[in-house]
Amino acid sequence: MTKQLLIYENTIPLSVERHKKWCLQNTSNFSFAKDVNAFPLLGTEFSPAALIYPIVFVKTESILYPSIITGIKDHENFFVTKSGEWQADYIPAFVRRYPFIFSISEDQKTFTVCIDESFDGWNQNGSGERLFDSEENQTQYLKNVVAFLRDYQASFLATEAFSRKLMELNLLEGMQASLTINNVVQKPFQGFLGINRDKLKSLTPEVLYEFMQLGWLELIYLHLHSLNHFSRLTSMMSDRLNDG
């Protein structure tokens, strides 16, 4: 599975001095995400995402986080067309916040708004949404973006707590998805974690009650149900191969 943060190529702190005349357009083109086959997912997104994508857990050296799978080959997102359209009813917040992102200080107390200057939707000729007005104040558009980033960060921390608890209780195990494309058995898709159903059943009533109160039990079952969507991905890959 590919590294999701590669959609950000040249992040720079947003400033009036540097970006006073910058405008953003072409925000409905998702070509920047066409080569990524997995995206981080917030807990608040499980419900709509589980209707479309497989939801799994990905572990790196420093973090564990839930993700949606958008393709079963590296460098290929089945949901982004050649023209850059995202073909699904729900687009993950990680993708929707691009080309903006928060940079967080080491003490986790300071948040700086950054932008990916490599995004081809930027211009300085007044087309699209301006970031700063003529008096160098944030436009309403930028204020809305900052509010979205704050909400994203709060949801990310809550999702992080959920993921940590799953690890503490040893509920996750390595998984793989069996793939058959055009009646040919493929190499299993692997490198991700999922909930072990037997370990879930062995949780104490106290822990289950805590999970239910926090809404985490619902997230677990949405994850388990969503794994059925791997068959959808194989169908999408078959369609691509048959289309040439």
Secondary structure in 3-state letters for the chain: CCCHHHHCCCEEECCHHHHCCCEECCCCCCHHHCCCCEEECCHHHHHHHCCCCCEEEEECCCCEEEEEECCCCCCCCCCECCCCCECCCCCCHHHHCCCEEEEECCCCCCEEEEEECCCCCEECCCCCEECECCCCCECHHHHHHHHHHHHHHHHHHHHHHHHHHHHHCCCEEEEEECCEECCEECCCEEEEEEECHHHHHCCCHHHHHHHHHHCHHHHHHHHHHHHHHHHHHHHHHHHHHHHC
pLDDT exceeds cutoff 90 at 150: yes
Tell me the pLDDT tens digit for each residue of 67-95.
999 998 888 899 999 999 999 999 999 99
> Do 191 and 57 form a contact (C-beta atoms < 8 A)?
no
pLDDT in tens, 187-205: 778 889 999 999 999 999 9
Please determine, for residue 207, whether its predicted confidence score (pLDDT) is greater than 90. Answer: yes
Residue % of the chain over a pLDDT of 90:
75
Confidence class for position 56, pLDDT limits 50, 70, 90: very high
Residue 5 has pLDDT above 70, yes or no: no
User: What global pTM score does this model have?
Assistant: 0.91
